[in-house]
Amino acid sequence: MTLNSNFLLRLSCCLLLLVTACQNKFADQSDNKQLSLEFINKQLDDAVTQIKVLADHVPVDQLPRTFQGDTSVSSNTEWWTSGFYPGSLLYLYEYSGDAQLLQLAKDKLTILEKEKYNKGTHDLGFMLYCSFGNALRITGDTAAYKEILLTGAESLISRYNPTVKAIRSWEGWTYPVIIDNMMNLEFLTQASKLSGDTKYRDIAVTHANTTLKNHYRPDYSSYHVVDYNPEDGSIVAKKTAQGAFDESAWARGQAWGLYGYVMMYRETGDETYLDFGKNIASFILNHPNMPEDLVPYWDFNAPDLPADSPYAANYKTNRDVSTASILAAALIELSIYTEGTESADYLAKAERMLQSLSAGPYKAAIGTNGGFILQHSVGSIPHGGEIDVPLTYADYYYIEALMRYKRLLTGDPLF
C-alpha cells in the first residue's frame, strides 16, 4: 500500500467516526424534527410523477434546462447544468426503486460521458459528480463509472494554477475564480478516495482556503468573482457579476459558499470550515431582508435598491427558489455537525424552507411547468437570462434536501 493510500485510509476512518458520531447524536434528537415521513414521501412521490412529465419534453440528445414562455428549453452536454437532470433521476430512483428512472438516467449518462475530457470548464463537479457520482454511489458499479470520474477529475485539475492557488472558473477576464466553484470541490475529494491519490483532495483544500481568504467580506457575505493575476497570485478585482452590484450579496452565491464549506468540513474534519460555514449561515439566516418564508430574494440587497438602479423597478422583489433549495440541503447537513439549540435552529430553518418550497406558489401543479417541480427561480438578472422560471438545479437540490431529511427520519446515514 502506498503512502498516499495509507493516509487516505486513516483519513477515511477518522471522517467515518466523525460522521457516525454526528449521525448518532442527531438521531437522539428526534423531537427536533417537525416534518413527518408522510410529508417527505408525498413530495418525493410528486417529484417522481413530475419528472416523468419532464422526460417527455427532453430531446434524446439534450438535457433539460428550463421552461420559459410555455416552451421547454434544453441544453447540450457542455452546458454547466447538464448533470442535474440525470442526478435528479438517480435520486428519485434511489427513493422509489422505479427502474424506468434508472434507465432514463443511464440514457443521459451515455451522451454526457464525453464531458470527462472537457478542460474548458470548472463546472465538472456539477456536470459529472452530480450525475456519475450519484450513479456510482447508488449502483456501486465501479467498472462503469470509476474511469469516467477520474478522467473528469484530471480535466478539472488541469485548470488549477499553483501560483493563484485556485481553479480557474471562466475564460476571459484575467484569472477569474467564482464562489460557485466551491461546489465542484466535492468531486475532487471523492476522486482522491476513488484513486488513492491525494493530489485531488490537496487541490480542493487549497482552493477552499484561497476562497475563504479572498472571497469573503467581514460580515461573511461573499463576492461572486475574484479576478487574479496568474503570474503572481495578486488580486486584480472583486466583482459580483450576477448580483445587484459589486458589493451586494448575490443570494445563490451565498448558498454555494455555505454548502461548499459545510461539505469541506465533512470531507476533511477541519473545524475551520465548520466555523466558517456557521458564520455564513448566520449572515444568511439573520439578514434583515430574508423573507418570512425563507425563500430569498435573488440578491439580499435587492429590496433596498435605489429607484435609479436598473434592477429596482422590475426585479427587486424577485425570489430565487434555487437558492432556498441549496440552503435547505446545506442546513440539514450543518445541523448534524452542531448541537443543542444551534443544531435545532439550523434544522428548523431547513424545514421552513422545505415547507415553503413544497407549496404554492413555488411548487408547480403536477403536469404543468413543463415537468419541472419548482417555479420562480432566477438565473442571472444582470444578464437578462432565466428570470422567474423553473431551473433544473433548483429541482436537483430540492430533491437532495428531501432525501437528506428522509434519512434523518429513518436513521440512515446522510452520506
Q: Tell me which residues are annotated as active site.
A: 123, 180
What whole-number distance in Å separates Cα of residue 223 and Cα of residue 196?
Answer: 34
C-alpha pair distances (Å), 97 with each of 56, 88, 138, 392: 20, 13, 11, 22
DSSP sequence for 124-183? HIIIIIIIIIHHHHHH--HHHHHHHHHHHHHHHHTTEETTTTEE--SSSSSSEEEGGGGG
Query: Cis link prior to 230 (omega < 30° from 0)?
Result: no
What whole-number distance in Å separates Cα of residue 253 and Cα of residue 225?
Answer: 10
Residue ranges in 269-371 assigned as alpha helix (H): 271-285, 312-315, 321-336, 340-357
What whole-number distance in Å separates Cα of residue 244 and Cα of residue 252?
Answer: 12
**H-run or E-run covering 380:** strand 377-380
What whole-number distance in Å separates Cα of residue 166 and Cα of residue 235?
Answer: 12
- The grid cell for 92 is 428519485
DSSP sequence for 321-343? HHHHHHHHHHHHHHHHTS-HHHH
Place of cell 413530495: 43
- The grid cell for 202 is 490537496
What whole-number distance in Å separates Cα of residue 129 and Cα of residue 127?
Answer: 6
